[in-house]
Amino acid sequence: MPGFEIIDSLEKKEVSNIFERGKGVLFRHGFENIRNNSFKVEKFEKNFSNKFGSKYCLAVTSGTAALRVALAAKKIGPGDEVITQSFTFVATVEAIIESGAKPICTEIDETLNMCANDLKKKISKRTKAVIVVHMLGTPARLDLIKKICDQNKIILIEDTAWGIGAKFKDKYLGTIGDMGTFSFDFAKTITTGEGGMICFRNKKEYKSAKAWHDHGHENNPKVPRWEDTRSSGGFNFRMNELQGAVGIAQLKKFRKLYSKQSKNRKKIIEKIKRIKQIKIRDVPKNSTVAPESLIFSFNNKKLASKFRQKFSKKGYSTKILPEAITWHFAGKWKHIPELNLKKNHYFQKSNKILDKCVSIPIFYKMKKNFPDLVYEAIKETL
Ligand SMILES: *Cc1c(COP(=O)(O)O)cnc(C)c1O
């Protein structure tokens, strides 16, 4: 959320630099004789890689593209099944469908992320990958889920669109599974307008993803690009230099964003934690959260909707829950035939959990009285 709040002269300077030093080369590859060694996307990847401790990072055009490319890196396609969770953004399921594989969703547990027990039940002989989502900043139970994937030789992809900077046992989210994907759309923690990143544990997957996202180009240094070698097909999901430049600037602000948002989140928790009739979202042991949201639940759906009314009267909207649930819960996606939603009570367990929840957005520039407003809205609801 907050990256867009502090876009300023730093982003402008990085972008201008493409036109001044880089002579306006907007393409990530080639033009060496013109560009004066100005490579923004490459630098953004390197900086991302250093910051989050992943050896191989590939920038792409969006978080949705990042998921699609991750699946392509493992040649996942028709005949395969990919399991994700019921509570996520619709993009996770779209990327699976786009690959040709069949999407399967699990229920969530009290962390509001993938339920490990349900995952075990939904694995079949065709299951090739699991996309676990660290939805709205709180890590999934990665220890359990990774173990299940390892035992069944299934690829683990972390959809880290909301989890940037959060850790599970001292490792950054997105660097624990085989691959981790990030989004830099305008509502995410750091933004490049549109954009995404993939972190890989393994060089081989990185190399095939890098080629696939660029029509199969291997970027063979021995030949010019137009004679480039290839060993696979692909598509075009290349990030351009303008996005890369903004990414470099936003990444420099990441620490500042993270710590300010964490402080703001704590202030709200301090204010509301003694209210007995609400329950704050579970966080798995040995993990930290990305301070993107604060989710708590009431005793029932009615109270959650009432809170939304009270809170909006104070001039604020809630975030995703209950506000934009139809875009974020597979139980509502009757428009996606691949999910085969026929029964009325699909994802009953998830529905029951989510219905009672409210998500508060955490801003970088939080008004001083914001925690009081949250507190008052809860009190008025009860
Ligand atoms: C935002 C988001 C995406 C997609 O990212 P885009 O950059 O908007 O394409 C994927 N998964 C989740 C969970 C998201 O919230």
16-74 pLDDT per residue, tens? 999 999 999 999 999 999 999 999 999 999 999 999 999 999 999 999 999 999 999 99
In three-state secondary structure terms, 134 is: coil
Nearest protein CA to atom 6 of ligand 1, as residue: 63
Average pLDDT of the chain?
96
Pocket probe for ligand 1: among 84, 158, 183, the residue whose CB has the most ligand atoms within 8 Å is 183
Percent of all residues in the chain with a pLDDT value above 90, rounded to a whole number? 97
C-beta of 182 in contact with ligand 1 (< 6 A): no
**What local confidence, expressed as pLDDT, does residue 14 receive?**
98
Ligand 1 pocket, residue 62 CB under 6 Å: yes
Nearest-atom index, ligand 1, CA of 196? 7
For residue 91 and ligand 1, the question of a CB distance below 6 A is answered with yes
pLDDT confidence bin for 179, thresholds 50/70/90: very high
Q: How far apart are CA 189 and CA 261, in angstroms?
A: 10
Determine the atom of ligand 1 nearest the C-alpha atom of 194.
7
**Per-residue exposure over 61-87, b if at least 16 CB sit within 10 Å of its own CB, e if not:** bbbbbbbbbbbbbbebeeebbbbbbbb
pLDDT band of residue 2 (cuts 50, 70, 90) is: confident
pLDDT beyond 70 at 352: yes
Quote the CA–CA distance of 358 and 26 in Å, as a whole number.
Answer: 42
Burial class from Cβ neighbours inside 10 Å (0-12, 13-18, 19+) for residue 380 reads middle
Q: Which residue has the tokens 């008052």?
A: 376
State residue 371's pLDDT score: 98
**Residue 278 and residue 306: Cα distance in Å, rounded?**
14
The one-character DSSP state at 2 is G
pLDDT-based confidence at residue 287 (cuts at 50, 70, 90): very high
Over residues 100-124, mean pLDDT: 97
* Averaged pLDDT, 138-155: 98
- Compute, in angstroms, the gap from residue 37 CA to the centroid of ligand 1: 32
Query: What per-residue confidence (pLDDT) applies to 346?
Result: 87
Q: How confident is the model at residue 297 (pLDDT cuts 50, 70, 90)?
A: very high
64 CB less than 6 Å from ligand 1? Answer: yes
Q: Report CA(161)–ligand 1 centroid distance (Å).
A: 5
Q: How confident is the model at residue 344 (pLDDT cuts 50, 70, 90)?
A: low
Judged against a pLDDT cut of 70, whether residue 1 lies above it is answered with no
Per-residue confidence band for 5, with pLDDT thresholds at 50, 70 and 90: very high
Pocket test of ligand 1: the residue of 112, 158, 188, 239 to mutate, having most ligand atoms within 8 Å of its CB, is 188
Task: Give the rounded percent of residues in the chain with a pLDDT score beyond 70.
Answer: 99
Compute the distance from residue 220 Cα to the ligand 1 centre, in Å: 32
The larger pLDDT score, comparing residue 341 to residue 152, is at 152
Q: Give the confidence band of 218 by pLDDT, cuts at 50, 70, 90.
A: very high
Confidence at 215, pLDDT banded by 50, 70, 90: very high
By C-alpha distance, which of 165, 173, 101 is closest to 140?
173
Distance 22 CA to ligand 1 centre (A): 31
Q: Look up residue 96 and give its two tokens.
A: 């699976």
Distance from C-alpha of 170 to C-alpha of 42, rounded to nearest angstrom: 26
The confidence score (pLDDT) of residue 345 equals 65
Gap from CA of 89 to ligand 1 centroid (Å)? 6
Cα dist from 205 to 174, 181, 201, 219, whole Å:
15, 13, 8, 15
